[in-house]
Structure formats: C-alpha cells, structure tokens
Chain A
Amino acid sequence: MEFPMIYLLIPFGVVVLATTLFVMFNFFHIAHFGLQGTKSSIVLLVYCFSFVGLLIFITQILGSLSWETNVSLDWLFFSTYLL
C-alpha cells in the first residue's frame, strides 16, 4: 500500500498542537501567577520568541524537503535500507 509522504505531516501536526498547548499553559501560568511584572514580561517574551523561532526553524527544514514522493508501508516498516 502506497501513500504520499505528506501524510506523515498529520502525526507531526498533532505533536505541534500538543506542544502549542503546553507552551500556552506555561505562558498562562507565568502571566497569571508571576508576581514580578517586568521580569515576568521578559520571561513571556523569551517563551514567545523561542517557540516562534523554533517553529520558523522547523518550517524551513520541512519546507526544503519534497513531500510529493510516494512511500509504501512495506518500505516504511520492513525496509532494509539501513541494514
């Protein structure tokens, strides 16, 4: 059975979604419970920039690859490519 490689991005999308959720939890905690106004703002900025920066980096890596290639399940799970 063959499928386009772009389908592999679906589970990765779930990972990105889960990560975004956790980053938002962290962001909320600092914004809501952080007692030092200026320091908390700096921490929030660092969180934002590091997350957005990593997303840009990942988009650049994944964007440089060709996702049109078809891949078969047999090849994916029983490949001897690395052996």
Chain B
Amino acid sequence: MIDLKHLPNHERGEEAILFLRRHWITVLSLAFTGVALLMVPILAYILMRTLGWDLMGNPVTGAIASLLLSSYLLLVLVILMTQYTDYYLDTWIVTNHRIINIELMGLFSRTISELRLNQVQDVTSETIGILPTFLTYGNVYIQTAGTRERFNFKNVDNPEDVKRVILDLSNQEKRRSGDASLMMTPPPVA
C-alpha cells in the first residue's frame, strides 16, 4: 500500500487512486544494459586470449587487471542502482483531490509538483510506436488553464485508462469544489 504520509500537504480524507511509474519495459532495458556492461570484461578477456596476451600469467599485470575489473564492476553496480533509483522514485500519484508529480533529477535533486483536480482543463493520452502499441504504454498530458506547464506522465501503463480515471475524478472534484480551470483562464486578447 502507498504511504501518503511522506508527501507534503497531506490532506485529511485523501486517498490514493492511481500510483504510476514508468512501464516495466524501462526496467527491462535497464537489465539489458546491465547484461551488456557485464559482457564487456568477458569479451575483453576473450579478445586478449585470442591475441595471446596472458595478463593473469604475470603477478603484476594480473593484479592490475583484477583491480581494473573490480573497479569496473563497482562502477556498473552504482550506475545500475542509480538508474533504478531514478525509475523507482519518479512517480505520479493521483488522489481524490490532486495529482502529484515526483521526479528525481540525479541523486541530489528532487522535484515535487502538484495540481488540484478541479484545475484540470484537458487530458490527452498518446501511444506512439510499435512496442508501445503492443505493450499498451504511452504518455498522458494534463493541461491546466493559464500559463502553467502541463503535467506529463511519461511511458505509463494503459494511458487510456489513466486518462479516463483522471477525467472522472476531475469532474467529481469540479462538482464538489467548483471549476477552478475556468477561473484561471486568462482574459482574451483584444
């Protein structure tokens, strides 16, 4: 279950309706990257054997090669961990009151932005490409009135369903608390 207490401005009676991350294909591509990076020292070893370089035959070159290999493996682990942390912490939460966008930019920068559901003016879902069509993932764009930047849900699963849920929740919230998207519309230019 999602623990919303860690979120800022947690409201009484607020419930998480959708909890979204990027599609699992992102994790799969990360796994492929990991395998490819782990293949590099194996291929290098095979190449050296083919060329007749026996690094491990000499104690000094063997030690240096082992240190380089160890450093490389540690580096690969850190890269994979950082990428996965980035995937894991980039989340979009739709509650019965608002939409929250949490983005981790590198390890030292985190952005949380939120949008009231009654400010939503337009929701667009987009699925482009062969793989996204077969695996049903894509982007969802949420537009509000005014100059505010739109919210982008990138590569989420079932973008059509997400769009429908957001529109339903937005309509409910507008009936309950008034349509803030109309109040925010800038006046027409004469």
Seen from chain A, the residues whose Cβ lies within 8 Å of a Cβ on chain B are: 5, 8-9, 12, 15-16, 19, 22-23, 25-26, 29-30, 32-37, 43, 47, 50-51, 54, 57-58, 61-62, 65-67, 69, 71, 75-76, 81-82
* In the assembled complex, B25 has its CB within 8 A of some CB on chain A: no
Quick one: given A16-B74, A23-B81, A61-B70, are A34 and B88 in contact (CB under 8 Å)? yes
* In the assembled complex, B61 has its CB within 8 A of some CB on chain A: yes
Q: Is the interface of A mostly helix, strand, loop or mixed?
A: helix
In the complex formed, the residue of B with least CB distance to A39 is B88
A65 touches B3 (CB 8 A): no
B71 touches A22 (CB 8 A): no
Closest chain B CB from A58 CB (angstroms)? 4
Seen from chain B, the residues whose Cβ lies within 8 Å of a Cβ on chain A are: 1-4, 6-7, 19, 53, 58-64, 66-67, 69-71, 73-75, 77-78, 81-82, 84-85, 88-89, 91, 93, 102, 104, 107, 110
- Bound-state CA distance A15–B119 (Å) is 49
A25 touches B107 (CB 8 A): yes
Q: Is the interface of B mostly helix, strand, loop or mixed?
A: helix
Quick one: given A61-B69, A69-B59, A81-B58, are A15 and B74 in contact (CB under 8 Å)? yes
